[in-house]
Amino acid sequence: MAGIYIHIPFCKQACHYCNFYFTTSPGNKDKFVEALLHEIELSKDYLDGEKIETLYFGGGTPSLLSQPELVAIVKKLRTHYDLSNLQEFTLEANPDDLNAEKIKELSELRSLGFNRFSIGVQSFFDDDLKYMNRAHNSDEAATSIKRVQDAGFENITIDLIYGTPTMNDERWHKNLETAFALNIPHISSYALTVEPKTSLDRKIKKGERLAVSEEQAANQFNILMEEMKRAGYGQYEISNFAKPGKYAIHNSNYWSGKKYLGLGPSAHSYNKVARRWNVANNINYIQSIAAGIIPAEEEVLTKAQQINERIMTSLRTMWGLDLSNFEPQVADWIKQDLSVIEPSHFTLVNDVLTLTNGGRLFADAIAASLFVTEEQFL
C-alpha cells in the first residue's frame, strides 16, 4: 500500500509563521491545475503499481480549488493509479473557506472517496489568530467544525498551535476544552516555531511581534499531553492525538516508512530507495511540466540514512523503535549510544525503545544521538 500527497500552493494571505511553499497570487491557478494533471501522468510509474491507500490534499489551502478542479484531479488519479482500496481521503481547509455552500460542494466528492477534513483552526481566540495573521476569526473556527459535522463528516482533524506570546496557560486549557467539547476525534498540535526568513522571524527582530518563549512552549506541551490523556486521546505521535481507532492513516504511513508520491510544487516523494522533491516555485513548476519534465531533485539514501530515518520517525510514535528489526550489530550500536541519554527519558522493553513524556520534549536530539554513521559501515 502507498499514499499520494498533493500540494496546492495557493493561500488567501500569508500566515506569519509559515515556512511551507505557498503563493497568495491566484493568477496561475488554471495553469497549475493543468500542470498537476500532467504531472500525474508523468509520475504514473513511480510507485510501481502499488495500490493507493490514502490521498492527502495539503498546502497551501486546497479548499481554494473549485469542486470541478478537485474532481478533475481525482479522476485523473483514478486513471493512472489503483484507488480501489482507498481508505482515507483528506482535504485540508481553513475555517473561513468552509461556508455552507463550500461544504455542500465538497460533500459531493464523497462519491470519489473523500471522507476526512483537516481544518486549520490553530486557536479559538482572536488575539492568537491575529498574532499568527490567520484569515479567520474565533467564531469561524468553531462554526466551520459544526458545519462539517452537520454535513455528516465525523472523520475530522484540527490543528492547534501553542506557545504563542498571546496565549497563557489558562487560555491554552480553554482552547483544548473547546476542542474536546466539539467532539473532534483527532487533533494535531504543534509549538509555534520561528523559522528563519519567515515573516514572523523578521517581525520579531524588528520588535513588531512579541518573541516566543521556549519555556512557555515546553510547559504548554506538558499541559497538552496531560489534558489529551485525561480526555481519552492517545498520543500516538509526538504532535498527534486521537480517540481509539481514529489515527491518521496517511501520516502513520509516513512514520512507518511506506512509499508515497508527492505531486505539486515543493512536494516530496519516497520509494524506499530514494527521496525526491519538486521545485518550490509555481512558475518554474508549471513551465517544466509543460516541457514534459518533472522539476525535482533526488537523493539516493545510503544504508546509514535509511536507518537514521527509521530511528527519527519511530521514536516520535507510541510504538517506538523496535531494535529487533535491525541487524544485530546495528542494534548493538544503538544500545551503546543509549548511555548518553537521560535514563528517565526512555524505556527499553523487549528490544522496543520508546520515549517517556519527559523524553518527548527532546525527541529530535535523542534521535540524533542514536544515529549511525557512514563510517560504521565501511
For residues 199 and 324, membership in a common domain is answered with no
Query: Is the pLDDT score of 378 beyond 80?
Result: no
The separation between CA 148 and the C-alpha centre of its own chain, rounded to angstroms, equals 20
| 248 within domain boundaries | yes
| 52 within domain boundaries | yes
Write out pLDDT tens, residues 288-333.
999 999 999 999 999 999 999 999 999 999 999 999 999 999 999 9
- pLDDT given at position 187: 98
- Percent of the chain topping pLDDT 70: 100
Distance CA 297, CA 276 (A): 5
Confidence category of residue 195, pLDDT binned at 50, 70, 90: confident
Q: Is the peptide bond before 60 cis (omega within 30 degrees of 0)?
A: yes
- pLDDT given at position 241: 98
363: CATH: 1.10.10.920
Count of the separate structural domains present in the chain: 2
- pLDDT given at position 27: 83
| 249 within domain boundaries | yes
Confidence category of residue 159, pLDDT binned at 50, 70, 90: very high
Confidence category of residue 201, pLDDT binned at 50, 70, 90: confident
What is the helix (H) or strand (E) element at residue 59, kind and residue range? Answer: strand 52-59
| 105 within domain boundaries | yes
- pLDDT given at position 300: 97
Query: Whole domain around residue 31: which residue ranges?
Result: 2-255
For residues 64 and 122, membership in a common domain is answered with yes
Distance CA 267, CA 282 (A): 11
Q: Can you read off the three cell numbers belonging to residue 341?
A: 541519554
Write out pLDDT tens, residues 28-66.
999 999 999 999 999 999 999 999 999 999 999 999 999
Under 8 Å between Cβ of 175 and 228? no
Under 8 Å between Cβ of 264 and 278? yes
- pLDDT given at position 24: 87
| 320 within domain boundaries | yes
| 261 within domain boundaries | no
For residues 326 and 192, membership in a common domain is answered with no
Q: Burial code of 322-361, b = ≥16 C-beta within 10 A, e = fewer? A: ebeebeeebbebbeeeeeebeeebbeeeeeebbbeeebbb
For residues 328 and 218, membership in a common domain is answered with no
Q: Which of 255, 289, 320 is the last residue of a domain?
A: 255
| 266 within domain boundaries | no
| 288 within domain boundaries | no
For residues 247 and 315, membership in a common domain is answered with no
For residues 131 and 211, membership in a common domain is answered with yes
For residues 231 and 348, membership in a common domain is answered with no
- pLDDT given at position 106: 94
The reported pTM is 0.95
Write out pLDDT tens, residues 243-295.
999 999 999 999 999 999 999 999 999 999 999 999 999 999 999 999 999 99
For residues 236 and 314, membership in a common domain is answered with no
Per mean pLDDT, which range of 53-57, 82-86, 152-156, 197-201 is the poorest?
197-201
For residues 209 and 348, membership in a common domain is answered with no
64: CATH: 3.80.30.20
Average pLDDT estimate for 115-143 = 96
For residues 243 and 309, membership in a common domain is answered with no
Distance CA 275, CA 259 (A): 10
For residues 307 and 221, membership in a common domain is answered with no
pLDDT, mean over the chain = 95
For residues 174 and 310, membership in a common domain is answered with no
- pLDDT given at position 197: 84
